[in-house]
Copies of this chain bind each other. A is one copy, B any other.
Amino acid sequence: MAAQQNPIVLQNQTDDLPLLLIHRPPFFTILPLTHLLSRHFHLLDPHLQPPSPSHPLPLDDFLSLHAPSLRAVVVVGIHPFTADHLRLLPSLELVAGTSVGTDHIDVAACRRRGIAVTHAGYAFTEDVADYAVALLIDVLRRVSASDRYVRSGLWPVRGEYKLGSKLGRKRIGIVGLGRIGSKVANRLRAFGCRIAYNSRKEKPSVPFPFYSNVCDLASESDVLVVCCSLTAETHHIINKDVMKALGKEGVMINVGRGALVDEQELVRFLMQGEIGGAGLDVFENEPNVPRELFDLDNVVLSPHSAVITPESIESMTKLVLANLKAFFAGEPLPSPAQEDQI
C-alpha cells in the first residue's frame, strides 16, 4: 500500500492536519462522524464551501482544485463513488466507506490504481441481524399488520385477527453467510429454527448444510434471508425461479441490497399469492417503493433502516477514524473491504 511507504504521523501536527475529502449526497451527512473527523483532519466538503466565493465551485472544479494534495476520501452512506470521481483524484490512496457494502464504490477501478478501500466492518452487523429477525417474526406473526388492525379500531368490531405462523422449526435459508448472515443464523438458532445457506463457496467451519445453488436452497427452505453483498454475480440472485422454488408459503427477507432481488418479479409473485410474504428493508430504486406493496398485509416495508442505530453509528465512526489514522500512520487498515463478501 502506498501509504506504508510514505507515512505521515499525526501526533503533534494539529496545526497542519491532513486533508480529507467528504463525499456525500447534498442533503445528507452523518454529523457524529464529521464532528469526530474534524478534530483530526482538515475536512473538504464540496457542499460546505467557504462563503467567500459568490458562486460555489461545481463538484468537478472543486475536486480538481484540491486534487493534488488529496490522499483520502470518506464516502458517506451509499453515495456513489465512481471511476469519474477517481479520475479527478490522481493522488488518492484510500477510500474509507461508512457502510458495510461497497457496491456503490467502484472497487475494481480502485484496485487497478492500488487504492485501498475500507468499509464499516462489523459496526452494523448486529443491528442488521436484529432487524432481519424482527422483519421475519413480523411477517410470520403479522406484528405490523396486527398493529394496523388494532389502531384502525377493528378488534372490537371484527374480533380475533388472523393467525400467523410459528417461527420455531422453520427451515431458514441464508443467502450469503458472511458477517451479517452468520449473526442472523446464531439468533435464529435460539428460536429453534433449522439453518442452511448458500454462499460463493462452502465454509468448512460452519455446522449448517451448504447449497451451491440458490434455487435448491429455496426449495428446501420455508424462509430465505437475503444478506449477501451486491456484486455483478449477485445482481438479481433472487429471480423468479428462486421465488417459484420458495413457493406459495415461503417468506423472503431482504436486508442486503434492493438489486439482489428482481423486484418487479417479487411484486408480481406477492400480488398473485405465489409466495407467502416478504420483509423488505431495501429496494431497487430507493427511496421509491413499488406502490402495489402498500396494500398488502403479508409484507413489511422499511426505509433502509436495518443498518443504523445511534450505537452502531458510534461504532462505525470510531472505525472510520481508526482506518484513517492507520492509513496516515502507514499501519495495517482495521477493516479493508474483502473481495469475497458474499
Contact = CB atoms under 8 A, between A and B. Distances in A.
B144 A305 contact: no
Contacts of A141: 127, 130-131, 134, 305-306, 309
A234 interface: no
Given A161-B305, A302-B146, A302-B150, A131 B126 contact: no
Contacts of A287: 155-156, 159
Contacts of A186: 190
Given A163-B310, A191-B187, A305-B163, A131 B137 contact: yes
Interface stretch (A111-119, A165-173, A225-233, A331-339): A165-173
A289 to B, nearest CB: 6
A254 to B, nearest CB: 14
A205 interface: no
A322 B134 CA distance: 34
Contacts of A159: 27-28, 287
A65 to B, nearest CB: 30
A169 B312 CA distance: 12
A164 B307 CA distance: 10
Interface in A137-178: 137-138, 141-144, 146-151, 153, 155-156, 159-161, 163-169
Contacts of A167: 126, 130
Contacts of A163: 305, 308-310, 313
The count of identical subunits is 2
Contacts of A306: 141
B187 A303 contact: no
Interface residues of A, number: 58
A245 interface: no
A130 B163 CA distance: 14
A321 interface: no
A268 interface: no
Nearest to A161: B303
Contact of A311 (B155, B156, B165): B165
Contacts of A308: 163
Contacts of A192: 126
A300 B143 contact: yes
Given A159-B287, A305-B161, A138 B146 contact: no
A11 interface: no
Nearest to A154: B303
Interface in A5-56: 27-28
Given A137-B133, A150-B301, A126 B156 contact: no
9 contacts: A130-B166, A133-B133, A134-B137, A141-B309, A143-B302, A150-B289, A155-B286, A161-B303, A189-B190
